[in-house]
Every structure is written in structure tokens, then in C-alpha cells.
Structure 1
Amino acid sequence: MMSAAIDAFLAMLAAERGAAANTLAAYRRDLEGAGEVAGDLERAGKADLSCLTRAWADLAPSTVARKISALRQFYGFCMDEGWRGDDPSAVLVRPQARRPLPKILSHAEVERFLTQAEEEAAGDKPNAVRMLALLELLYGSGLRATELVSLPITAVPRDAPFLSITGKGGQQRMVPVSRRAKEALGRWVAVRSAPGSPHLFPSRTGYISRIRLYQLVKELALRAGLDPAKVSPHVLRHAFATHLLEGGADLRVLQTLLGHADIATTQIYTHVDSARLVALVNERHPLAAARAGG
């Protein structure tokens, strides 16, 4: 039965690739949805699958690409198991989906942002010191918002300048902590008043939420004279990655630091850097200046 084949495929993803529960649920939705249109996937041929193109006509290219990827992996598994000798999903043409370039902040904007946080933390008020520590880790270590707010107090480095992070899918990685971030963390731990909490950034109900972090970052951006629409925890993570790449960081190293499972995800930053270089040429090249002077 189709459901048995899908169950076996998902079990393989969980056991051999360590796929997270959300990932497995997404695969199941895509495969079962395709089966509702094309029939029993285990026995479907190219003619059966070709009708999916019409069924998916109104979906975003990225969504269609994800569904096709799920089918190709499923049929690859079926062939490995000897359940069939061909892959009918070859009839489906993957759309060319361009990922939007992430928003980025310039070095000057980041410096302005951090300077505002440092000035506010000068009096050692706990909330201001906490904000400085949060920012130093967002920009200095490239953490995801969820990874940051859920850090345990035991994650604070003592001798080794690294944090042990549990990222997407429960994957573990080590990220470096800059001298600035380590100093900010030390200041925060000294004024943090939650002796019974296991969380580095505690709240009354556990740890501060991603939404609260988002609000705090927006509020600080406003006080720093920056457009709040341009700034978020994720934008600071992008700035970390982009500025490292501009400085000559290796893409594979960047992939490890960011916790990306696929190097293709990290490669978006090469496009960001290219876009910056094109803008620089258009604005600063002597011929551009001569043309503008006309």
C-alpha cells in the first residue's frame, strides 16, 4: 500500500538522516497530497505524475520544487528497496525559483546599533546589559533567535571560547564567542537575578520569547536612529554571515558556523556579496561618474 511505502520512507529519513519531526510531517503532507492526485505513488507511472503539474499550477515555485524533491527522494528510496526499477518523477520539471536576497546592514549601521547598546549598558542596568549580550551573540556568533533565547546558563564559556548550540533538527554545533561577546556575557551573568533558572536569559515563565527578542531589537534600532523595518534578529545573523564572507571567510566554514545542513543555503551570501560589488561598481566606477555628469 502507498501509506506503508511512505511510512517506510519516513522511517528511513528519521533513522539514517536524523530528520526532525516537523521535517517528517512536511514530507508526509507532500507525498500524501501527491498521492491524492496521482493515485498510488508506489505504482504510479509518468503519465500519472504528469497531472501534478496542472494541480500545482497556482503554487509558488519554491513550493513546487519542494514537492518534487520529496517525490524524487521517495522514488530513489523505492528503487533502493527494489520495489520498482524506475523513477517516474523525472517527468516533473523543477521550476527555477530565485531565493530573495536577505536584508543586510552595513558595517556602519551595525556599529551604530552596538554603540547605542553599549551606551545604554554603561550604567549596568540589568535590562540594558542583557540587551548588549543578546546583540553581541546575534552579530558576533550568528545565532538563530530560537537558539539564542533558549541558551542554558551552562552554555556560558569558561575556558574555551565556544558555545555548544543545539540547532534545527537537534543538530549540535560549536560556535565561537568573540572577546566582546564574552565580556558582555560576563557582565550579564554578574547582574542576572534568577538563581534558580537554568536559562541564560530567563523570564517569569522560562526564557524570553523570540517575539520579545524581536521587539527589543526593533525598539533599540529606533533609539539608535535606524529604520526598525531594516533590523531584526535574523537580519543581524545575516550581517554576521555577510560581513564574514566579505572579510574572506571560507563558505564551508560559514556553513558550519551558521548550522546549515545544505551548502546551497549558505551560498545565498555569495549572491549578497556579489550584489554589493555590482552596486559599488555602478556607484563608484569612474565611467559611472562620467555618465552621471553627462
Structure 2
Amino acid sequence: MEFTAAAEAFATHLATVRRLSPATVRAYRSDLRDLAASVGDGPIRDIDLDALRDWLWLATQRGDARSTLARRAAAARSFFAWAKDEELISIDPSLRLVTPKLGRTLPTVASRDGMRVLLDAQRSLAATGDPDALRDHAVLELLYASGMRVSELCGLDIDDLDQDRATARVLGKGSKERVVPYGRPAREAISAWITRGRPVFAARAEAASPAVFLAPRGGRIGPRLVYALVARTLGPVVGAENVGPHALRHSAATHLLDGGADLRAVQEILGHASLGTTQIYTHVSAERLAESYRLAHPRA
């Protein structure tokens, strides 16, 4: 089988059998297309370890980040393992493909005071009754209160909310469902949006949408709009231009741990499969503690 045809069959397998998210399937497809551009669209059995190493070497020459190289190496290994299982190849050339080691970086985290100023400002804007402001306030409050991913927020339907208990049912990575709590400020912001703002946008749609958050034309809100909102509002708070919704997730987790929350409880809220993933936030808290110590202790 030719490489391009095999890659498309693999992408279909990821979407229909493994049921990975559309974003993950797009990433795998993009990585394999990049590999095809390097090795050509010949028979898949002709690709060997040297060709894969050359592909990654070219990526380093382009200046690709180590995280990108690691993801592409993982995509290649997953693809060739599938190809061997499907008997498209007899030998897996990716078995000895080395993944570049990643340096762990601490995530961007806003301060408690910074988040308070940001959300108070959004609350004041929402008080004008403007539908965009009502939605933006509810989005920011919910992202920070629950620590949910932007894809989970965009996928929320009205039926997923229990406004009496202040909980939301979200569909996370690997189609795993979990229930996350949120606080009173988020509940009030969501209630104001649903009762005063959402009907304005819903009236513009050709067909009714079950989504909690709508775009101005009445359809389900998309990640790009949420990214733009967070960059505009949170960027000045943390001093970064390219900050995205994940920074609110990072901030929520760090502030929970700072407040004494159990690490496993934070793992459940965030929907992490591994506790090791959640532990990065203990390092963030330790960094913040060390900084406070350096600023305040006379012998620091």
C-alpha cells in the first residue's frame, strides 16, 4: 500500500475505532503528511529507520520545537505499529526511533489578585446587559472555576448543566465523562447569560442549538473565539501575548492546591488519567512559595 493511502486509513482507524478527538486525529494526519513530504508517496514497506531519522533531522533544521519533534516521533511509532498489526509491513522501522527528551516547563499561572481584578472587570461589563459581555463573563468564570479544557467548554449543552448543584458534565479526552463543580460567581454568571444574553444570539440562528455558549450568529461557540477572548483579557494580567484558555486551567489547579486541595481531588476535577500529570502543579505552588520566601524573609 502507498504511504498516503495507509496514512488516511490510519486516521480513519483513530477516529472510528480508537475514537480519538477530532483535534488529535488532525494532529496525527498533519504529522504523517509532513513525513510523506520527506519520504515521498512510495510503498509503505520501503520506509526504513534512516528515512525516519532524516525526517526528524530536517525538522530540527527548520527549528521545530522539541515538543513538536516528540509528538511527530510518537505519531510515526503509532502509525507503523498499526501498519504492522494490519500486516501492511513485516518489520516496524520505528521501534528504534528515539524521541527527543523534553525539558519540563512550568505553565503560565495568573495570581489570585490578577484573576480577581480580571473577573470583577468582566462582571462590570456584563452588568450593562450586552450579550457578548454576558457570555464572555460566563465563559471566563466557568473556565477558571472548573478547570475544564476549552474543547470541553465548547462542547457543553444546556442539559449538561445542573445549576442547582453548580456542576457540569463534560466529555474529556478519550470520550471519558466526568462531573466538575463550579462556584457561586460562575453559577450567577452562567444564569445571567442563559436568561438575558443567550436568547439574543439564539434568535439569530436558523436552527436551535443545544449548546450552552453561542456565537453571535446563534451557532455553537468555537475554540478560536475563546482563545481570542482569553488572549485579550488574561494576556495583560500575566504579561503574555499568546496566552490561551489552558492558562485558566493551570491557574485553577494551582490555586486549588495553594488553598489546600488534595492532589487526587484536583486530578479528578481536571480529568487527568495520570497523577503524574497533575503533579506539575505542585511544582508551580513550590515556585510561588519560594518566590514569596525570597521577597519576605530577611535571610533569604
Give your verdict on TM over 0.5: yes
Residues 262-282 of structure 1: per-residue CA shift (max 9 Å, x gap) = 766545434423332332343
Larger Rg: 1
Residues 43-72 of structure 1: per-residue CA shift (max 9 Å, x gap) = 544344443343333232222111211122
Q: CA deviation at 1:19?
A: 1.9
Partner of 1:19: 20
Partner of 1:177: 182
1:134 partnered with 2:111: no
Partner of 2:60: 57
Q: CA deviation at 1:149?
A: 5.3
| Residue identity opposite 1:56 in structure 2 | A
Q: Which stretch of structure 1 is more off in the superposition, 267-276 or 194-203?
A: 194-203
d(CA) in 1 for partners of 2:173 and 2:115?
26
Contact 2:44/2:89 (CA < 8 Å) preserved in 1?
Answer: no
Partner of 1:95: 100
Q: Secondary structure at the match of 1:143?
A: coil
d(CA) in 2 for partners of 1:210 and 1:5?
30
1:75 partnered with 2:80: yes
Alignment TM-score, normalising by the size of structure 1: 0.73
Partner of 1:278: 290
Residues 87-142 of structure 1: per-residue CA shift (max 9 Å, x gap) = 43244332223354332111122223333344555x57355554443332121112
d(CA) in 1 for partners of 2:53 and 2:223?
42
Count how many residue pairs are aligned between Structure 1 and Structure 2: 285
Q: Which stretch of structure 1 is more off in the superposition, 275-284 or 205-214?
A: 205-214
| Residue identity opposite 2:253 in structure 1 | A
Cα–Cα, structure 1 residues 247 and 67, in superposed 2: closer, same or farther, change >3 Å?
same
Cα–Cα, structure 1 residues 57 and 285, in superposed 2: closer, same or farther, change >3 Å?
same
Contact 1:35/1:41 (CA < 8 Å) preserved in 2?
Answer: no
1:125 partnered with 2:126: no
d(CA) in 1 for partners of 2:52 and 2:176?
34
Q: Which stretch of structure 1 is more off in the superposition, 212-221 or 83-92?
A: 212-221
Q: CA deviation at 1:260?
A: 5.1
Q: Secondary structure at the match of 1:206?
A: coil
Contact 1:140/1:181 (CA < 8 Å) preserved in 2?
Answer: yes
Unaligned runs of 5+ in 1: 289-294
Unaligned runs of 5+ in 2: none
Cα–Cα, structure 1 residues 42 and 137, in superposed 2: closer, same or farther, change >3 Å?
same
Alignment TM-score, normalising by the size of structure 2: 0.72
